[in-house]
């Protein structure tokens, strides 16, 4: 009998930020394929005897190829297992969800997606700021600042990112933010635009740095911690004390 694959959004890592539906899926799974950023205390919810397989991808570290991860999902499901693919943040945001959906559906395996708290929302909440404000920040844009080679993607809409009335959230951007900031300042983004660097959001070692776009770019040119992080810049990034 063919099994089933549930793509579970783990949120930023704090088990208390899981949805009830996500926690239930984790607790009843036969096998859990998890990302690095969704491991830790969340895996304590797994039932005894469940297979736990780490398949996370981190910049600069050896990690499984995407086709191997997709193959594992299919192989486990074909044994009749209830499989959870545990993805950090919200599964649909920069999580390679589409490739895995294609593989599972091509194999004739049923699947579903459980949405979750994206790290962008969690970081803003931790910093005590909104992502939008009437008449000041009417648009929120999420971007990834790393392509498949780890470099700044060539197709970014830079004029839109330089809009001082938009809130921009940069995923996977600590290494490339200096180059991005230079390009945006050249296009007219004020160098003193507020910026927030949020690392290890919702984790015990969480850090929040309120600064400016230019100052953050200068810092990240030479000083990058190994903690996972994202960057928020725009009119609201320094609202809270």
**Do the beta carbons of residue 122 and residue 12 sit within 8 Å?**
yes
Q: What are 175's two structure tokens?
A: 């290494």
Give 109-160 as a DSSP string: -EEEEE----HHHHHHHHHT--S-BTTTB-EEEEEES--TTSSPPTT--HHH
Question: 205-214, long-range: CB within 8 Å, 24+ apart, which pairs?
Answer: 206/126, 208/123, 208/126, 208/127, 210/127, 210/237, 210/238, 210/240, 213/181, 213/184, 213/185, 213/189, 214/181, 214/185
The DSSP bridge pattern shows strands 110-114 and 207-212 to be unpaired
Asked if 47 and 140 touch (Cβ cutoff 8 Å), the reply is no
Catalytic center residues: 35, 57, 172
Instruction: Please identify which residue in the block is written with the tokens 């943040």.
Output: 89
Residues 6+ apart with CB under 8 A from 61: none
Angle at 83 between CA 80 and CA 89, to 5 degrees: 165
């Amino acid at each position: 009998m063919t099994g089933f694959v549930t793509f579970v959004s783990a949120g930023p890592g704090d088990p208390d930020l899981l949805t009830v539906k996500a926690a239930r899926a984790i607790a009843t799974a036969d096998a859990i394929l998890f990302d690095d950023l969704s491991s830790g205390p969340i895996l304590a919810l797994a039932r005894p005897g469940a297979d736990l397989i780490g398949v996370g991808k981190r910049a600069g570290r050896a990690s499984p190829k995407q086709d191997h991860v997709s193959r594992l999902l299919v192989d486990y499901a074909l044994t009749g297992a209830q499989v959870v693919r545990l993805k950090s943040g919200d599964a649909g945001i920069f999580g390679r969800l589409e490739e895995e959906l294609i593989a599972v559906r091509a194999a004739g395996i049923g699947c579903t997606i459980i949405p979750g708290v994206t790290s962008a929302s969690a970081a803003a909440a931790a910093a005590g700021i909104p992502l939008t404000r009437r008449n000041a920040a009417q648009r929120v844009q999420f971007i990834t600042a790393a392509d498949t080679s780890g470099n700044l993607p060539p197709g970014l809409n830079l004029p839109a990112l330089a809009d001082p009335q938009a809130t921009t959230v940069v995923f996977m951007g600590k290494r490339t933010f200096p180059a991005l900031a230079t390009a945006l300042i050249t296009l007219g983004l004020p160098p003193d635009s507020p910026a927030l660097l949020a690392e290890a959001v919702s984790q015990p070692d969480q850090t929040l740095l309120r600064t400016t776009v230019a100052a953050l770019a200068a810092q990240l040119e030479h000083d990058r911690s190994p903690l996972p992080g994202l960057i928020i810049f725009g009119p609201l990034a320094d609202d809270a004390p």
